[in-house]
């Protein structure tokens, strides 16, 4: 899964937003930075470039992601960590940052409370979350192709999880309940470019939990081929582009 994620999804979906988030992280030059749900390290690399004098600690719950990320971006310090039980001391970081990871936390207020604990007074929490699935060109095309290929019941992972945490009032309430002060919520739309629609389809089919949902099926190869064909019909051949919307949130630990 990490290899497919890195090869097919990172360039098109995550790299544009990593550049945006790293630019927002740079001022006011934090010295100690913790990244949650770092995956294979696309944001980690952007943070290292934007904050060359900072100490950057990258974490992920998935050991395979940590192994891949640490090999890909050795300039950061890598650790396996559960966001609900961070293995760090109180007030240890000036900035905690997370790219498209909070949607996966099973208990967000608990994770946010840990963010508050490890932040120094006045420290910032910076993260982004995908908008609704229809506002994501690649994801919407994939889900449509999946549902057309599986009319008896397609996996709803994309809609329910990555694109299931879109209500700003809910996010604000979760942050506030954890003792963090919400500061800003900025909706942005960026364009991603993939080498082909087939590449994006392969990424979603093999680099996300959709893979586990399809794998037991006897017709899994035929379903994957049908999804790839339908995505290509929808997006075109050769390199393809799509617009993607997300919200960037900023909060802080009260001084």
Q: Is the pLDDT reported for residue 25 higher than 90? A: yes
Phi, psi of 249 (to 5 degrees): -110, 145
Where in the chain are the domains?
2-252
pTM (two decimals):
0.96
Q: Is the pLDDT reported for residue 2 higher than 90? A: no
How do residues 192-245 score in pLDDT, each as one tens digit?
999 999 999 999 999 999 999 999 999 999 999 999 999 999 999 999 999 999
Radius of gyration, CA atoms only, the chain = 18
Does the N-terminal peptide bond of residue 50 adopt cis geometry, omega within 30 degrees of 0? no
Contact between 91 and 121 under an 8 Å Cβ cutoff? The reply is yes
Q: Where are the beta strands (DSSP E) in 86-225?
A: 93-99, 119-130, 181-194
Average pLDDT over residues 176-200: 98
| pLDDT number for residue 55 | 98
Contact between 227 and 205 under an 8 Å Cβ cutoff? The reply is yes
Longest dimension (CA), the chain: 57
Percent of residues, the chain, with pLDDT higher than 90: 99
Contact between 88 and 210 under an 8 Å Cβ cutoff? The reply is no
2-252: CATH, from 3.60.40.10, 3.40.718.10, 3.90.230.10, 3.40.50.150: 3.40.50.150
Report the length, in residues, of the chain: 255
Q: Closest Cα to residue 138, out of 1, 7, 13? A: 13
Average pLDDT over residues 106-132: 98
């Amino acid at each position: 899964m990490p290899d497919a994620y890195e090869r097919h999804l990172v360039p098109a979906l995550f790299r544009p937003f990593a550049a945006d988030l790293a630019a927002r992280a740079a001022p006011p030059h934090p010295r100690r930075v913790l990244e949650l749900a770092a995956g294979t390290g696309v944001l980690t690399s952007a943070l290292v470039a934007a904050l060359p004098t900072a100490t950057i600690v990258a974490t992920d719950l998935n050991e395979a992601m940590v192994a891949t990320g640490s090999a890909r971006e050795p300039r950061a310090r890598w650790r396996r960590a559960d966001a609900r039980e961070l293995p760090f001391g109180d007030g240890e970081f000036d900035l905690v940052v997370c790219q498209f990871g909070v949607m996966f936390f099973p208990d967000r207020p608990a994770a946010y409370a840990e963010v508050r604990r490890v932040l120094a007074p006045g420290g910032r929490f910076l993260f982004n979350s995908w908008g609704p699935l229809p506002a994501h060109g690649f994801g919407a095309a994939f889900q449509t192709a999946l549902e057309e290929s599986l009319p008896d019941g397609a996996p709803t992972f994309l809609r329910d999880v990555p694109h299931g945490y879109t209500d700003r009032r809910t996010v604000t309430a979760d942050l506030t309940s954890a003792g963090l002060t919400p500061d800003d919520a900025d909706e942005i739309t960026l364009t991603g470019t993939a080498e082909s629609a087939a590449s994006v389809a392969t990424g979603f089919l093999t680099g996300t939990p959709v893979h586990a949902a399809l794998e037991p099926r006897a017709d899994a190869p035929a379903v994957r081929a049908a999804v790839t064909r339908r995505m290509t019909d929808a997006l075109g051949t050769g390199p393809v582009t799509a617009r993607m919307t997300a919200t960037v949130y900023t909060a802080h630990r009260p001084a």
